[in-house]
Structure 1
Amino acid sequence: MIIKTLRKKRGWSQDHLATLSGLSLRTIQRVEAGHAASMETINSLSSVFETDITKLTEEIDVIDKDAEAWKEAPLWVRMGVWGIRKRSAVLRWELACFVIGFLGLVGMYFHPFLLIFLVFWGSAYWYAVSIRWIDSKKLWL
């Protein structure tokens, strides 16, 4: 759920959100931690954020590339995921590069030209490090 992101964008504390929504602070903490929320809780939060219920219940794993924290990310990280916003897409590229690189490693024993595919193994490593860096800075929404 994206409750924490919506709350932080408005500059609210968890306690303030609990007061506005009529929910307990513990309920807000549980929802932000990813625990299941009842329909009453979701309805209350959707009215406070003035948004549709489906927006609150969908999982979002996108980089907010307009955020100040993203603009301060190192160039090698920004280049690693250039043009890609979703974490799942970056993970697929990482896996694809790893597989192609591995096939190049195996294939070079049959034809030396296939050694060029080892570049993809380096790309897979770059994606892996970039993903872990973004995870550590919590830049995914």
Structure 2
Amino acid sequence: MTSSDSTPAPRAWIVWSLRVTATAHLAGVLAQAALAGLFVTGDVDLLTWHRDNGGFTHAVLYLQLLAAVLLWRPGRGAGWPAVASAGLVVVETVQVALGQWRVLGGHFPLGMAIFGLSAVFTAWTWLALRRRTSAAGAA
């Protein structure tokens, strides 16, 4: 048995907090892509929606960061989700700035990267954490 096997699984409310916030963040990121696509096809009113949804999505990311920190301490889970969430906060802050400055050559590809990273992170919360909490419940 390795030391990680003997570590108790994080409390369910912490795991669910991370799952819900990561999923909500991913949904906001997907909405950002949809709104951007509709905006560039000519519906200029959606730029305001894109801006407002960006602020909401970024705020949800801070809740995800909080949940990831709780998973790590006091939850005794892995620390990398907190680091990854903090990294996303930095990257999304740059993304917001690029959008406000209308630097679309950086804003579009960075948005794609944020979507990919958020999707992988969210999938991890549902798949890997389920295995960990299931294994702890069986022990």
TM-score w.r.t. the length of structure 1 is: 0.34
TM-score by length of 2: 0.34
Structure number with greater Rg is: 1
Greater share of helix residues, 1 or 2?
2
